[in-house]
Structure 1
Amino acid sequence: MALHVWFIFSVAYLITTLSPGPNVLLVIRNTLRYGARGTLATLAGNLAAQLFVIVLVALGVGALVAAMPMAFLAMKLIGAAYLIYIGLVQLLRRQGVSSTAMQASMPRVSSPKVFGEALLVSISNPKTLIFFSAFLPQFIEPGRSLFTQFTVMYLTIALIVVTVHCMYCLSLSRLSKQLSASRWVVAIKRASGALFIGLGVKLLMARQV
């Protein structure tokens, strides 16, 4: 991949990643709930999902799903249901009464569970597959190795995702430590639950493009 093509690709993907979506909300939620280990497990699941989706795009599966309304609908229902479920769990979860108690009672992270949750959230969204199917081929250069180009794009995507998600997590973690009342931390967690539900409803209403 030529340097100027890679640069344009990187900037374009960075712009799309800066807009918070389910993956960003999930990594923020798990950071607040589990700390740094939750962040790492969520990022690992997200990156594994991104790799899986990009492999499907390279094999042409993304275009196939885009042409099959029933497959798109099934993936959409699964993804929306899971996002709404996560939001409801977040809203109904009992919260601590003080920031000290919240730190002391921080649940122990189950890395495989957090990893699987992040993997499912990312993979079950058909818009991700269709987006990559439309986005990535625009930067493929004829005559160059497809394997090399897709590898470079995935590594670039992984770097951008890790950077942006960590930026969000660090900013919110610092904010939560500076807040004097735990009710604000609780409000952040409940707001993320409402946003998950909203994203699930938005995905239900999404049309195939």
Structure 2
Amino acid sequence: MFGIHDFWLFLISGLLLNIAPGPDSAYVVGRGVQMGWRGGVAAALGISTGCLTHVLAAALGLSALLVASVTAFTVVKWLGAAYLCYVGLTMLLSRAPRPDVTAPQETIAVSLARVFWQGALTNMLNPKVAMFFLAFLPQFVDADAPHKPLAFLTLGLIFVFNGMLWCLAIGIAAARAAVRVRSSSGAIAWINRGLGALFIYLGVRIAFSQAK
């Protein structure tokens, strides 16, 4: 279909890549522990949305232009690095809020929206994600396939969907395992610091990445 070959090899290798521990998994687990299953779900959906934009870009050929253009790659790289470092510093300097059962629901909604967009922008502004999809997906598409964009889109959607299911699972599992942790303001503060350090690490890594 659409010139796709070795589909089962793609599916297995994609699943292994999705379940491999990495920054995305750490972010989902951290938010699940910090905010409960809603935080884990918001983080998982945000990360999946960020990956989806790169899949669509790869299908349309925009990712190829990003990788081919040194200027475009550099601009996106520094925007992503600056955003991640900003988020990381904000979390490192933030104070854990005291539990308040009377807090309005609007505050929770805003927090979940922020978690979602942090996860999404982490991937959207990472040119390495674009390079990954351009390097991985073509391995399973025939060179003379008549519908390469559709093949890229199909494979990318499957990869992102499987990754979303995995992130949802670990986010919910982390939330259920951390009920007691969330009742401790000190533990939440350390989780914030850990997530902040993760964001700063990602920002620095992106800043020193190079287009190949």
The answer for the alignment partner of 2:209 in structure 1 is: 206
The answer for the alignment partner of 1:159 in structure 2 is: 161
Structure 1 residue 138: deviation in Å?
A: 0.8
Instruction: For 1:202, give the aligned amino acid.
Output: R
Give yes or no for the alignment of 1:193 onto 2:196.
Answer: yes
User: What is the CA RMSD across the aligned residues, in angstroms?
Assistant: 3.0
Structure 1 residue 156: deviation in Å?
A: 1.7
The answer for the alignment partner of 1:146 in structure 2 is: 148
1:67-106 equivalences in 2 (<5 Å): 67-96=68-97, 101=99
Is the contact between residue 82 and residue 203 of structure 2 (CA under 8 Å) also seen in structure 1?
A: yes
**Which range moved further: 2-11 or 150-159?**
2-11
Q: What are the superposed Cα offsets for residues 25-81 of structure 1, whole Å, 9 maximum, x if unpaired? A: 443444345433333433333333322211221222222221211111111111111
Is the contact between residue 90 and residue 193 of structure 1 (CA under 8 Å) also seen in structure 2?
A: yes
The answer for the alignment partner of 2:9 in structure 1 is: 8
Is the contact between residue 91 and residue 192 of structure 2 (CA under 8 Å) also seen in structure 1?
A: yes
Q: TM-score scaled by structure 1?
A: 0.80
The answer for the alignment partner of 2:52 in structure 1 is: 51
Is the contact between residue 29 and residue 192 of structure 1 (CA under 8 Å) also seen in structure 2?
A: yes
Instruction: For 2:196, give the aligned amino acid.
Output: G
Q: Distance in 2 between matches of 1:35 and 1:188?
A: 13
Unaligned runs of 5+ in 2: none
Identity of aligned residues (%): 29
Structure 1 residue 154: deviation in Å?
A: 2.8
Runs of 4+ in structure 1 off by over 6 angstroms are none
Structure 1 residue 177: deviation in Å?
A: 2.0
Instruction: For 1:201, give the aligned amino acid.
Output: V
Unaligned runs of 5+ in 1: none
Structure 1 residue 112: deviation in Å?
A: 4.8
Is the contact between residue 34 and residue 108 of structure 1 (CA under 8 Å) also seen in structure 2?
A: no
Is the contact between residue 37 and residue 109 of structure 1 (CA under 8 Å) also seen in structure 2?
A: no
SS in 2 for 1:177: coil
Instruction: For 1:109, give the aligned amino acid.
Output: A
Aligned residues: 205
Q: What are the superposed Cα offsets for residues 130-166 of structure 1, whole Å, 9 maximum, x if unpaired? A: 1111111111134464355334313322332222212
Mark the CA change 1:126 to 1:45 in structure 2 (over 3 Å): closer, same or farther.
same
Q: Distance in 1 between matches of 2:9 and 2:208?
A: 31
Mark the CA change 1:69 to 1:135 in structure 2 (over 3 Å): closer, same or farther.
same
Q: TM-score scaled by structure 2?
A: 0.79
**Which range moved further: 129-138 or 173-182?**
173-182
